[in-house]
Structures are given as C-alpha cells and as structure tokens.
C-alpha cells in the first residue's frame, strides 16, 4: 500500500502504466529517477563550488595567502557529485524504483537555494521535502542560518591560528593589533530580511501544495485522511515489515502497553539533538544540515539506502573533516560487508525460510553502528 505524497503518486502513477513498445513498463518511471539523480549531483557540485568560494573569501578577508593557494587543489563539489552518482546505494535506490531520488532532489534543492541566496527556491525545496518525507522539516534551522549568515566559513579562531602560527618572531603587540583588525573584518551579522522572505515563500508554497493535495485526494477522502495515511503512518510505525533500520524489530518485540511510550521516546530523540547542534554549528549551516540529514536517516521510522546515499554524497563537501577521519578503511570494508550480507540474510529468512530474523537484524545493527562511527 502506498503511504506517500498524492502529488508524487499523480506524477509517477501514470508513468508506470504507460509503456513504450518493446520496452519494460517501468522504463519511463526509471528515467524520472535517473534524471532526478543527475540533477541532484549537479546541484551538489554547484553547492560545493559555492562553499569553496565562501572559504576563499574568508581567507582573503584575513590575508592568509598560503591556505588560499593550497585550497585551489581541492574541488569538494566535484568529489561530492561523483560520490553521490557512483554510490552503490544511489544506484540501488534508482534500480529498485524507490522514491528516494525525488526526495533527495528536493532536499538538495533547498540547500542549494539557501547557499545561493535564492529564497523562493530554498522555500520550495524545504516545503516539498517536508511534504514528501516529514523528517526534512528540521532543516528549516540550517536553511534559515544559511540565508541569514551565508555559506559555511571555518571558525575565525582556526583562521587566526593557521595564519599566525608561523609568525612566532613578530612582536606580540603587532600580532594582537593585526588579530583585532582581522576579527573586525571577518565578523558576520545576521540578516533578517531573507529569513522573512523565506517564511513568506514557505507559507505561499505550503498553501499551494495543500490546495493541490486537496484537489488530488478529493475523490478518495479529505486532507485529514491524507495526513493520517502519510505523516500518521510515519509517526505511528504501523508497518513492522523488515527494513535496514533497527526500530522494526524493537517494536515487534516490545509489549503493546509500552509501545506508545517508546514511540514518543524514539521520535523525541531526534528533536533533542536539534538545539545543541544548532548552537554549536551555527557558523557552519551546511555542515549542520548534513548532520541533521544523517541523524534523521539513522533514526527515521522507515529508512532506506537512498537516505544513506544522500548524506554520504554530502559528506564529500567537507574535505577537511574527511582528511581527519579515522578508520576510514575499516568503515569502507564494513559498508561493503553489510551491503553484501544484508540481501543474503533477507533472502534466507523471508524467501527461503532457512534463516532467522536475528541474522537479518544483526546486519541492520552492524549498519547502524557503521553510521554512528562515521560521526
């Protein structure tokens, strides 16, 4: 049974019925997902170039030429786009005819619009991503920070340490005076005007989406029924079918008396992380958005490999963090092992009946541990 957006169903439903002579019936629908992945990669590449330009401007404002020259060798946008396109999880989601490519596209669209200062585009991406999946609603915080402060810039303290670490022979008074000058040059004030525009456009796009949804579901029910079968289905976790997450097994075993309590706890677990992370990473809204996406992909009710493909692709935008990453080889081997074992265990348990639920759940636990070790 379909529990997604009626607008997306209106778009993709006819494509699954139409058939090109001599071709499979799902060819047109597959082309939509392929195009969505290609556009997503192009937007990731453009976002990476925007972040790199902001990094260079910060270096220029602090007169740090050495780091500026070395940063020319890095092209985070190209790396992130290639990682997203050639990620086996991205290919698997596309081949499996999952709606994840479309959901990932609108999330990336929101981040790209916010980085570029395109308020209507950012609002459209955020509204559509929230409409399709609910969890991207928490991205409103990094989007607002992006519009208010601009793209990510490394901490001013890090700039000053790298800029003056080699100048130990200079007088301390000269260093202090130069440091104060650079601090005044690099201070960024929050701009409220694009934020107000974003809230206006978000309200406008939300009203437009609700009107279209009411027209689409009118022959079958009301908007409230749509919310119950989409957002309500996500929040109540009614379907306990096995997936790559860890919640389905827990709620299949827990007593019904405690089900509501643990359901609230698991959903609030995501919300409790929002404010501390926003306070700590307010100067890096793009990295904050990446962390939010990764957390929601790990703790959401019905995760898929397409969710992991999104945050693994965005990880390529942050080369400094990748350079300091430990145990990257073991993490890569772990992802490969889980990717190979998970379908095998699923086949043994579900189709052949020769395996055990614990075997498949063990691969899900290993997959969750790998995601935690990434951060």
187 pLDDT band, cuts 50/70/90, is: low
171 pLDDT band, cuts 50/70/90, is: very low
Q: How many helices (H) and strands (E) does the chain have?
A: 21, 0
What is the CA 280 to chain-centroid distance, rounded?
19
What CA–CA distance (Å, rounded) separates 74 from 63? 19
Q: Tokens 């937007």 identify what position?
A: 43
Residue 4 has pLDDT above 60, yes or no: yes
161 pLDDT band, cuts 50/70/90, is: low
Q: Tokens 């699954």 identify what position?
A: 16
Which pLDDT score, from 0 to 100, does residue 13 have?
76
Burial 301-321 (b: 16+ CB within 10 A, else e): bbbbbbbbbbbbbbbbbbbee
Quick one: DSSP state of residue 353?
Answer: S
Which pLDDT score, from 0 to 100, does residue 168 have?
44
Which pLDDT score, from 0 to 100, does residue 358 have?
83
Which pLDDT score, from 0 to 100, does residue 20 have?
57
Question: What's the whole-number mean pLDDT along residues 200-212?
Answer: 94
Per-residue pLDDT reduced to its tens digit, 222-257:
888 888 888 988 888 888 888 888 888 888 888 888
52 pLDDT band, cuts 50/70/90, is: confident
The pair of three-digit structure tokens given for residue 159, joined into one six-digit string: 């700039």
62-66, 76-80, 108-112: which has the minimum mean pLDDT? 62-66
Which pLDDT score, from 0 to 100, does residue 325 have?
73
Say if residues 59 and 71 touch (Cβ distance below 8 Å): yes
Residue 63 has pLDDT above 80, yes or no: no
Which pLDDT score, from 0 to 100, does residue 299 have?
87
CB atoms within 10 A of CB 124: 21
Exposed (0-12), middle (13-18) or buried (19+): which is 276, by Cβ within 10 Å?
exposed
Which pLDDT score, from 0 to 100, does residue 160 have?
52
Domain ranges of the chain: 6-153+188-293+302-324, 327-375
% of the chain residues with pLDDT over 90: 30
Say if residues 234 and 302 touch (Cβ distance below 8 Å): yes
Quick one: DSSP state of residue 189?
Answer: P
Provide φ and ψ at 354, rounded to 5°. Answer: -105, -5
Quick one: DSSP state of residue 301?
Answer: S
Residue 184 has pLDDT above 70, yes or no: no
What CA–CA distance (Å, rounded) separates 89 from 336? 11
Which pLDDT score, from 0 to 100, does residue 114 have?
93
What CA–CA distance (Å, rounded) separates 353 from 205? 48
Say if residues 147 and 122 touch (Cβ distance below 8 Å): yes
Residue 154 has pLDDT above 60, yes or no: no
């Amino acid at each position: 049974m379909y529990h997604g957006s009626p607008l997306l169903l209106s778009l993709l439903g006819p494509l699954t019925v139409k058939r090109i002579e001599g071709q499979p019936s799902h060819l047109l629908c597959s082309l939509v997902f392929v195009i969505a992945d290609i556009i997503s990669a192009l937007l990731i590449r453009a976002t990476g170039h925007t972040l790199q330009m902001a990094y260079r401007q910060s270096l220029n404002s602090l007169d740090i030429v050495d780091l500026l020259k070395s940063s020319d060798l890095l092209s985070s946008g190209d790396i992130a786009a290639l990682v997203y396109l050639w990620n086996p999880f991205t290919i698997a989601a596309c081949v499996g005819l999952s709606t994840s490519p479309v959901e990932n596209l609108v999330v990336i669209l929101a981040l790209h619009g916010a980085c570029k200062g395109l308020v209507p585009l950012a609002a459209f991406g955020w509204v559509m991503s929230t409409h399709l999946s609910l969890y991207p609603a928490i991205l409103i915080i990094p989007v607002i920070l992006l519009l208010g402060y601009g793209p990510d810039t490394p901490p001013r303290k890090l700039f000053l340490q790298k800029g003056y670490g080699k100048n130990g022979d200079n007088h301390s008074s000269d260093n202090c005076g130069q440091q104060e000058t650079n601090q005044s040059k690099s201070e960024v004030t929050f701009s409220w005007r694009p934020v107000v525009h974003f809230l206006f456009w978000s309200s406008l796009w939300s009203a437009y989406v609700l009107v279209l949804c009411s027209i689409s579901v009118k022959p079958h029910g009301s908007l409230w029924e749509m919310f119950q079968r989409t957002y309500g289905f996500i929040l109540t976790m009614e379907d306990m079918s096995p997936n790559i997450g860890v919640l389905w097994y827990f709620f299949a075993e827990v007593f019904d008396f405690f089900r509501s309590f643990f359901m609230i706890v698991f959903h609030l677990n995501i919300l409790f992380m929002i404010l501390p992370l926003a306070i700590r990473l307010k100067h890096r809204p793009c990295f904050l958005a990446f962390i939010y996406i990764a957390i929601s992909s790990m703790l959401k009710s019905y995760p898929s490999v397409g969710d992991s493909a999104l945050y693994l692709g965005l990880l390529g935008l942050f080369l400094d963090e990748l350079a300091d990453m430990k145990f990257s080889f073991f993490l890569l081997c772990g992802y490969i092992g889980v990717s190979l074992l998970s379908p095998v265990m699923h086949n043994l348990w579900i189709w052949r009946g020769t395996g055990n639920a614990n075997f498949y759940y063990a691969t899900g636990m290993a997959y969750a541990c790998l995601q935690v070790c990434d951060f």
